């Protein structure tokens, strides 16, 4: 029931500006700690060992803080868990891209640039829509389903530990000359922690769309993604909406020839498909909440 309450609180209130303009969000605190560690320890020899030590320190710190908050009672634990969920924020940010794209292509590029890391300056309308929908699918997995899953497994300590590792992966888990060694541990652990949630997300999206999952086709599409997990929710979203996702996109001025996901489906998409994606992640959220409630009642 603590998780059910957390899901409802997040869906109702999201991340209110009046609160986080006065306080520092826990994810921001974690990010600052990781950034400081990156600048201080990601130098010289033994970078991989130092990255392993950082990951273990994040796990230990997150678990300790989560345990302390959980000891205060169910309500503080539910509030803390709600802060670590991101359903309302995700849905609002993705929907904002559709609203902006209806105004103009330039407004759509500005809105989508807030939620994706790829280059947006040369995007046409379908590319803007794809970027927003892919963000909805991937972030529904690691921003809602995975934290909820780990809460069911180990309560707030496990949920906070997951968020710490996931944040580290998003900051230092890149195969760049600077981070390939230092971010190795956080990237590999994040892959492991998302193994089950990513596939559960794909199932939730298919069920929410009343789309019978073809696991063979989903697996083939998912394997084309550069991440071992992110391809699952993206492939499920593409097939649920009967559209093509992914494909070539630019990073730092370099066009990268990523393969298409569900490539035989429609590629000319726009704000209507973004709206459908937002509606789909809300239906999948409702299924997740119902599952959490079922766990509470049995």
pLDDT of 124-142, one tens digit each?
A: 999 999 999 999 999 999 9
pLDDT for residue 78 is more than 90: yes
Residue 154's pLDDT is 96
Q: How confident is the model at residue 225 (pLDDT cuts 50, 70, 90)?
A: confident
Q: What percentage of the chain reaches a pLDDT higher than 70?
A: 100
Domain that holds residue 276: 2-297
DSSP string, the chain: -HHHHHHHHHHHH-S-HHHHTTS--HHHHHHHHHHHHHHHHSSSS-HHHHHHHHHHHHHHHHHHHHHHHHTT-HHHHHHHHHHH--HHHHHHHHHHHHHHHHH-HHHHHHHHHTT--S--TT--HHHHHHHHHHHHHHHHIIIIIHHHHHHHHHHHHHHHHHHHHHHHHHHH---STTTTTTTHHHHHHHHHHTHHHHHHHHHHHHHHTT----HHHHHHHHHTSSSTTTHHHHHHHHHHHTB-EE--EEETTEEE-PPEESTTSB----HHHHHHHHHHHHHHHHHHHHHHHHHHH-
Residue 21's pLDDT is 85
Q: How many domains does the chain have?
A: 1
Q: What percentage of the chain reaches a pLDDT higher than 90?
A: 80
pLDDT for residue 223 is more than 80: yes
Residue 57's pLDDT is 97
pLDDT for residue 92 is more than 80: yes
pLDDT for residue 227 is more than 90: no
Mean pLDDT of 141-168: 97
Mean pLDDT, the chain, rounded, equals 94
Residue 217's pLDDT is 86
Mean pLDDT of 70-83: 96
Residue 235's pLDDT is 94
Q: How confident is the model at residue 175 (pLDDT cuts 50, 70, 90)?
A: confident
pLDDT for residue 213 is more than 80: no
Lowest mean pLDDT among 3-7, 76-80, 243-247: 243-247
The pLDDT tens digits of the residues spanning 47-67 come to 999 999 999 999 999 999 999
């Amino acid at each position: 029931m603590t998780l059910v309450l957390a899901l409802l609180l997040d869906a109702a209130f999201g991340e209110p500006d009046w609160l986080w303009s006065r306080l520092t969000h826990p994810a921001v605190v974690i990010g600052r700690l990781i950034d400081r560690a990156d600048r201080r320890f990601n130098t010289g020899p033994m970078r991989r060992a130092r990255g392993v030590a950082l990951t273990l320190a994040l796990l230990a710190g997150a678990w300790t803080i989560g345990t302390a908050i959980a000891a205060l009672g169910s309500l503080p634990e539910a509030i803390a868990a709600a802060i670590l969920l991101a359903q309302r924020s995700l849905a609002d940010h993705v929907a904002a891209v559709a609203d902006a794209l209806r105004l103009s292509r330039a407004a759509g590029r500005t809105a989508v640039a807030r939620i994706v890391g790829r280059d947006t300056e040369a995007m046409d309308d379908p590319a803007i829509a794809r970027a927003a929908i892919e963000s909805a699918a991937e972030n529904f997995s690691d921003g809602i389903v995975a934290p909820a899953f780990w809460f069911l497994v180990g309560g707030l300590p496990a949920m906070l530990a997951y968020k710490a590792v996931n944040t580290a992966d998003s900051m230092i888990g890149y195969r760049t000359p600077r981070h390939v060694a230092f971010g190795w541990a956080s990237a590999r652990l994040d892959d492991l922690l998302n193994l089950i949630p990513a596939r559960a997300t794909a199932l939730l999206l298919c069920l929410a769309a009343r789309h019978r999952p073809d696991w063979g086709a989903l697996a083939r599409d998912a394997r084309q993604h550069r991440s071992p997990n992110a391809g699952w929710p993206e492939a499920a979203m593409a097939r649920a909406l009967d559209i093509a996702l992914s494909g070539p996109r630019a990073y730092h001025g370099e066009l990268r020839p990523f393969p298409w996901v569900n490539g035989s489906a429609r590629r000319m998409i726009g704000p209507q498909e973004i709206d459908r994606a937002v509606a789909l992640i809300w239906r999948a959220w409702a299924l997740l909440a119902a599952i959490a409630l079922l766990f509470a009642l049995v």
